[in-house]
Structure 1
Amino acid sequence: MIKDNLTSRSIRNNNSYNILKALVDQQRLQRSELTVYSKVSVITVNKIVDKLLAAGVLTETTAESSIGRKPKELTFPQDLGFFCCINLCKISQIGYFIYDIHSKPLSEGLVRVERESDFHTALGECLFQIGQAARQMAMPLLGVCVSVPSVYYEQEDAVNCDLIPGLENIRLKKLLRESFCIENITIIHDVCASAGIEYRLAHTDSLYYFYLGDGLGSAYVRKGELIQGDSYAAGEIGQGITSFEGEECTYESILSISGLCRQLGASGQDELEETLKRYPAMGTIEKKKIDPILGLAGEFLYNICWILNPGMIVIDSSIPILAELIRFVTMKKCERLGSAPIGNHVSVTLPMEKNHYAMKGCVLLLVERWIEKILEEASKGSVLDVN
């Protein structure tokens, strides 16, 4: 891959990005502190900050102090705007979450979906409530990110509907543009968003994220890049085939929540969770039903170590005890890596981001794209174009 040449304009935009990102992360900084966090020279910081102040992107106020000098601090305006993340990954409900630019939750809401045919209506009610929230806060909506349960096809503006048929024929990006009159719209597969936030939190160059829920999914991040494949199908491991108890089947039919319920005779997720919680105290005969399933997951993840060679594997599930059991089995399998003829090693962990429905990965992505949009406008010769 040939890297883009860094022109004087792109260098300025990189500096501006670092300054804005530092303020997103730290919330308020003095100019002298900003040079440290952004790794930009004092002269350049002053030039860029003056332009950002003139554009109304930042404000500068005197810090509150009872003694000594009162330095000035840079912050984003309180009425700058907000970001909204929508969770479309559940059949029975649609959740939305509102954040400020620092990813601080401001409010949230939930719309129930009574029947599959009502999904479009429920989504419309969700968008109406978000619009109401915007009017009550008297702030502009700066971006929307939608988490979906499968592949999103940008050109067709369509979501693969195998898990939630109610998404069929809904043109999400078109609907959001018409509802909110904004362009900063991101639609992302939920496992990709989760893998992204786990990668940010981890100390590794590569990470494989494995999720067991209504379906079975995964995502691979290497050096900050999400690897999605030619048809955006990389990570759709649920569709992979294996042999289980003498029959050819998909991984999803065995390892998804519905697959586990069917095999273990559980009526639903709650009963399945209670069954798995009893696993440590189970006798040998009772464990015989569960051990082959756990072994299948552990074997698959062991093989991932040789196919992708990630530095870290994160195992996640809507049933936490299930993720814990699979992690234990996978770690035992991966002990073989140390004695393999080719050197290999991996860290197997549970997720560090516990609040799945806060969708931290989604809001961080939105904020970054908002910054990029500001700088894109700057590159066209606006007030941020520092000479």
Structure 2
Amino acid sequence: MKFINKKKILHYIQENPGHSRTEIAKALSISKPTISKLVDELINEGWFREKESTSSSSSGGRRAFQIYFKHNAKYIVGVDIGGTSVEMAIMNLRGDLIEKVVFSTQKYLSKNLVQVIANHIHSLITKSGLDNSQILGVGLGVPGITDVEKGLVFDAPSLGWKQYPLVKKLGELLSFPVYVDNDVNVAALGEQWKGAGKDKRNILQITLGTGVGCGMIINGQLYRGSSFAAGEIGYMVTDRHAAEEAYDSIFSGYGFLDSHVGGPSITKRMLKHLGTGDEESDDWPAKKIFEMAIAGDENALNIVQDALSHLGFALINVISIVNPECVIIGGGLSKSMHHFLPDIKLTIDKHLPIEASVTITTLEDVAILGAAYLVLKEHDSILQV
């Protein structure tokens, strides 16, 4: 009970800084002597600081002491491992980035990528003027299905990892805990902590990139499914007739929706229209095709509208199952989506009576923030949220 009460007090002050012991006792319905004793312990342990109020009490007595959470009491590391690049940052418990680094994934993939990640983490700690004892843990987002309990990456095609013991391998190189999850789940956590999902308990995070991913937060917690594969909506079928016929899968292992909405599928359709070969695909990134569509190019517009029609119907299906408060669209392609968002909303509203806010993320560094927040979610400590 003592630990539970200390945790309640700590989280209350995190959200309500500057309150006095009396105010904390009243808000949490815990006796004033108990609050006073536990606050003193939290101050001695380095979690809180107190400051004398600038105003006297209403009765004219001595000034109360205001309690504040020390956001620099510990630090966390967030790592986003992408198929193209690895981004990582060290931050305090409020999510303020202290140091950040980005480097190529493919350059080091065949040269012990895990060792390179560990080296960069140590470098970030040194540059930040910290030592290992101040690090609560490191969280990682990986583009693949992960077993968060065993720390295994089941399958990450862009990294060539299958049944890869990432937590064990990285943990052997670090002196603090390591946690891992799917990159879309991690992005959902970032939005829950610092983005459009803050203060919301039911969130859908949709990522648009090479494929289509979905992270689900239900009743305030990530929903991962029985085998950690919840949210794999890239396999969703949004046209029965097209699915029964042979359709062009963008990559082996990718699903129907991936093959109609993902960036490479949009590129492939443009190349097919132009009658050119795959060797020219780099000249036609999906972002360029979106820009052409916005400028009024008829062929680009048809390709983009067809892709977003599939996305709209996929969102209808997922919203009808999950009933979220908000749907947040992120990923590389999201930056090209603003012009078309009203059309997607019209499609949803036409077929679905359930209300759900659909927005495009504005949160910078969402993946590394979410990876760091994963530590606060999974690490068994007084800070666990």
Category of TM-score, reference length = shorter chain:
0.7 to 0.9
Aligned position for 1:288 = 302
Change (3 A) 1:236 1:93: same
Q: Give me the TM-score of the superposition, normalised by structure 1.
A: 0.78
Change (3 A) 1:133 1:166: farther
1:292-371 matches, cutoff 5 A: 292-324=306-338, 327-337=341-351, 344-357=353-366, 359-369=368-378
Q: Distance in 1 between matches of 2:153 and 2:361?
A: 28
Aligned position for 1:6 = none
Q: Distance in 1 between matches of 2:300 and 2:135?
A: 53
Q: Conserved in 2, the CA contact under 8 Å of 1:111 and 1:125? A: no
Q: Distance in 1 between matches of 2:5 and 2:283?
A: 49
Aligned position for 2:382 = 374
Q: Distance in 2 between matches of 1:79 and 1:227?
A: 30
CA positional deviation for 1:270: 7.9
Q: What secondary structure is seen at the aligned counterpart in 2 of 1:175?
A: helix
Instruction: Give the residue type in structure 1 aligned to 2:259.
Output: S
Q: Deviations over 1:226-252 (max 9, x none)?
A: 222211111111133455495345211
* Runs of 5+ unmatched residues, structure 1: 1-8, 339-343, 377-387
Q: What secondary structure is seen at the aligned counterpart in 1 of 2:89?
A: strand
Q: Could you tell me the percent identity over the aligned residues? A: 18
Q: Distance in 2 between matches of 1:30 and 1:368?
A: 27
Q: Conserved in 1, the CA contact under 8 Å of 2:137 and 2:176? A: yes
Q: What secondary structure is seen at the aligned counterpart in 2 of 1:313?
A: strand
Q: Does 1:102 align with 2:94?
A: yes
Instruction: Give the residue type in structure 1 aligned to 2:295.
Output: A
Q: Does 1:25 align with 2:33?
A: no
Instruction: Give the residue type in structure 1 aligned to 2:91.
Output: Y
Q: Conserved in 2, the CA contact under 8 Å of 1:95 and 1:110? A: yes
Q: Distance in 1 between matches of 2:217 and 2:348?
A: 20
Q: Does 1:264 align with 2:270?
A: yes
Q: Distance in 2 between matches of 1:188 and 1:212?
A: 18
Instruction: Give the residue type in structure 1 aligned to 2:269.
Output: Q
Q: What secondary structure is seen at the aligned counterpart in 2 of 1:98?
A: strand
Instruction: Give the residue type in structure 2 aligned to 1:60.
Output: E
Q: Distance in 2 between matches of 1:270 and 1:26?
A: 50
Q: Conserved in 2, the CA contact under 8 Å of 1:111 and 1:126? A: no
Change (3 A) 1:238 1:188: same
* Runs of 5+ unmatched residues, structure 2: 250-255, 272-279
Instruction: Give the residue type in structure 2 aligned to 1:346.
Output: E
Q: Distance in 1 between matches of 2:202 and 2:40?
A: 38
Matched residue count: 356
Q: Distance in 1 between matches of 2:229 and 2:80?
A: 21
CA positional deviation for 1:192: 1.3
Q: Distance in 2 between matches of 1:148 and 1:286?
A: 32
